[in-house]
Amino acid sequence: MTQSAVSQQIKSLETALGRPLFVRRVRGLELTEEGRAYLPTVQAAFAMLEEGTSVLTGRNDPHVLELHVNLSFAVFWLTPRLGSFMREYPWVRLNVVTSIWPEEKQSAAAAVGIVFGQSKWEGRVGHKLGSDTIFPVCAPALAERIQSVDDLMRERLFDLSGTLQSWDSWLDANPAQAKGPRPAVDRVSTWTLSLAWAQQGLGVALAHEKVAGHLIETGQLVCPCEFSLPMKEAYYLIAPEGTHANPAAQAFKGWLLREMKEAGPTAESRH
């Protein structure tokens, strides 16, 4: 912009605000007190605009993986294996957005999505990432006092709101029926929270292999009961129809499907 154009913009801004922002000197301009107070807000706005523009233009980068992923899957399944992906594809840069339910607004820029639910979603091709079972998990110290389903019923129980199967589903299908009354259940919106509570020894959470597997393998959680129930829901790898995934997205999808195949039906064999 020319100097006169800048001067005109300054005058327009001052007119809009109804107060002067600069003191006109012979050798240039100086900020007024109000101008100095306003400056940090303007600087922050420009910084935010610059960052947003950088992210937007970076979405065309073939080295950037735009991934929208279920929060619990990202924390419990993806994170323990992410080092393997980074070593195999060191050139890939991640841009990850998380959500809990597939109904939440999806990232418009995501080339790959991983959601939890049933079947496919409108306008998006779904690939089921294996089957799973649900079973109780708790801290090792708490498991020592659980010898039966009746013992389990005396503990605090954690479960998710919005899933198709609950503690009632697991108890109804369990051959070892509980004799006493069923306790009230504390509910949360994500396994990220219920499993954290279980790790703290606060009670017993209902979980499945893809979220609890690594915690069980590392001894942070144990299965106090043998029975497990096949899940009606699953995780799905999805992508918008009619789009061409960039090299980073293609690399991730190939790696993910290999990892799932190598893992196999671990949930069914655990019990």
Residues 75-110: tens digit of each pLDDT: 999 999 999 999 999 999 999 989 877 655 555 567
Q: Per-residue confidence at 5, pLDDT binned at 50, 70, 90?
A: confident
At CA 178, angle to CA 172 and CA 180, rounded to 5?
125
CATH no. of 133-230: 3.40.190.10
Residues 254-267: tens digit of each pLDDT: 999 999 988 765 44
Inter-residue contact 159 to 193 (CB < 8 Å): no
Per-residue model confidence (pLDDT) at position 243: 52
- The CATH architecture one would assign to domain 64-129+233-270 is 3-Layer(aba) Sandwich (3.40)
Residue span(s) of the chain under CATH 3.40.190.10 come to 64-129+233-270, 133-230
Domain 3-58 has CATH 1.10.472.50: no
Least confident stretch, 130-134, 145-149, 238-242: 238-242
CA atoms within 13 A on the CB side of 207: 35
Tokens of 266: 């671990």
Residues 48-81: tens digit of each pLDDT: 787 666 656 555 688 899 899 999 999 999 999 9
Per-residue model confidence (pLDDT) at position 269: 39
pLDDT greater at residue 171 or residue 56: 171
The runs of H, that is alpha helices, within the chain are: 3-17, 33-58, 71-72, 79-88, 140-143, 149-152, 167-173, 191-199, 209-217, 247-263, 266-270
Q: Per-residue confidence at 118, pLDDT binned at 50, 70, 90?
A: confident
